[in-house]
Amino acid sequence: MPMPEQLQHDVINYAERDLPLNEVNGGLFDFISDAHLAGRLMEEFKSARYLYKILEGLSAKDWLQRAQVRIQVLLYASIYEAVLHHVLFDRLRSDPRVEKLMKFDRLIKISVPQAKQAALDKHLSHDGKKIVPTYEGVGANDETKVRFDAKAKCAAEIGIITETLCAELIEIYEARNAIHLHAEIKKNLQYELALSHRAYRRMLPFRDQVRDFLART
């Protein structure tokens, strides 16, 4: 059941009261060349800010505060990943360091004729196990399967972001991965409001570093 219209109006006014206009009115991601992506990033950022302000207004504690932190970490981590993915794979795809992200070493089985294989089997074994002839090759990795920490480290190597910011983004993203309850229990990760504050406060330095890099290239 929806809130009364006046209450809805009051809640939105409360959420917007302390939000700087430049945060919620557009140009935060003006350096993103994909207009649709830039719009989605802005929506994610506004969602994070509005939800934080509303839960702050409720003086969220205990389980609700944990939800407040999780929402912030999830949304900000998603923004960081989407920006780095766009810059690396859309803007800098031909850079050898980016190309390397989509390659991995693999062992490729050698096809041996059946007659020769029978002879090899007599000699190729170890500790009772059959040895299969292979050679070292290179496999292609889909860009969507590249780990975030690899993207962040590549971005730092190229000079898109600093090493210090890279380390912090990896930490935030690791917290995002632990949002699954079983992972949280296994890692014994303690969610604190300070973590969501840091995820937010790194956004502008991140934006400035990426934008400045793209302006130089």
Each residue's pLDDT tens digit in the chain (217 positions)?
A: 889 999 999 998 998 887 876 666 667 899 999 999 999 999 999 999 999 999 999 999 988 988 898 999 999 999 999 999 999 999 999 999 999 998 766 666 777 677 666 666 666 666 666 677 666 655 567 888 899 999 999 999 999 999 999 999 999 999 888 777 777 677 666 667 788 899 999 999 999 999 999 999 8
Is 127 strand, coil or helix?
A: coil
Locus of tokens 């074994």: 125
Q: What is the pLDDT of residues 151-209, one digit of tens each?
A: 999 999 999 999 999 999 999 999 888 777 777 677 666 667 788 899 999 999 999 99
pLDDT at 217: 87
What is the Rg, in whole angstroms, of the alpha carbon atoms belonging to the chain?
24
Distances in Å between the alpha carbon of 172 and those of 59, 79, 161, 211? 24, 11, 15, 21
Angle CA(192)–CA(156)–CA(70) in degrees, nearest 5?
A: 20
Contacts 24+ apart (CB under 8 A), 38-45: 40/82, 41/79, 41/82, 41/83, 44/75, 44/78, 44/79, 45/75, 45/79, 45/203
- In our burial notation (b when 16+ CB lie closer than 10 A, e otherwise), range 43-68 reads ebbbebbbbbbebeeeebeeeebbeb
Residue 173 class from Cβ within 10 Å (0-12 exposed, 13-18 middle, 19+ buried)?
buried
Q: State pTM to two decimals.
A: 0.82
CA separation for the pair 75, 167 (Å, rounded): 18
Read off the amino acid at residue 187: K
Cβ contacts of 107 within 8 Å, gap of 6 or more: 134, 135, 136, 137
Q: What is the number of alpha carbons within 13 Å of residue 189 lying toward its C-beta?
A: 23
How far apart CA 50 and CA 27 sit, in angstroms, is: 17
DSSP 126: E
**Residues found in the chain:** 217
